[in-house]
Amino acid sequence: MMGFGMGMMGGGGFTLIIWIIIIVGIIYLMSNRNTDNNYSNKENKAEEVVRERYARGEINKEEYEELLKDLR
């Protein structure tokens, strides 16, 4: 006989939804943290390219300093 209490759809379904929300939240936070790190790495890469160009003599000191100033 079916009752009106907390059966599979009442308690079990709600618990499943809570766990899904928690898991999605953790995944979101982890991916957001990685995005911030990737942004920092791109900035460092750009400065590294400018340093390499200066070391090879492709740009002079004034251009080097101006490019680093623009990147920061």
Residue 17 lies in a domain: no
Residue 4 lies in a domain: no
- Hey, CA dihedral for 64, 57, 54, 39, is it positive or negative? positive
Residue 61 lies in a domain: yes
What is the per-residue pLDDT across 6-38, written as a single tens digit (0 to 9) for each? 555 556 678 888 889 999 998 888 877 765 555
Domain that holds residue 69: 38-72
pLDDT the model gives residue 2: 52
How many domains in the chain?
Answer: 1
- What average pLDDT does the segment 43-61 reach? 90
* Other beta carbons within 10 Å of 50: 19
Residue 24 lies in a domain: no
- Give the pair of three-digit tokens for residue 68: 């680093």
Residue 65 lies in a domain: yes
Whole-angstrom distance, CA of residue 66 vs CA of residue 46: 13
- Give the pair of three-digit tokens for residue 65: 């300093």
Give kind and range of the element (H or E) at residue 31. Answer: helix 13-56
Residue 55 lies in a domain: yes
Res. 1 pLDDT band, cuts 50 70 90: very low
For the cut 60, the answer to whether the pLDDT of residue 40 exceeds it is no
* Other beta carbons within 10 Å of 53: 14
pLDDT the model gives residue 63: 94
- What average pLDDT does the segment 47-54 reach? 92
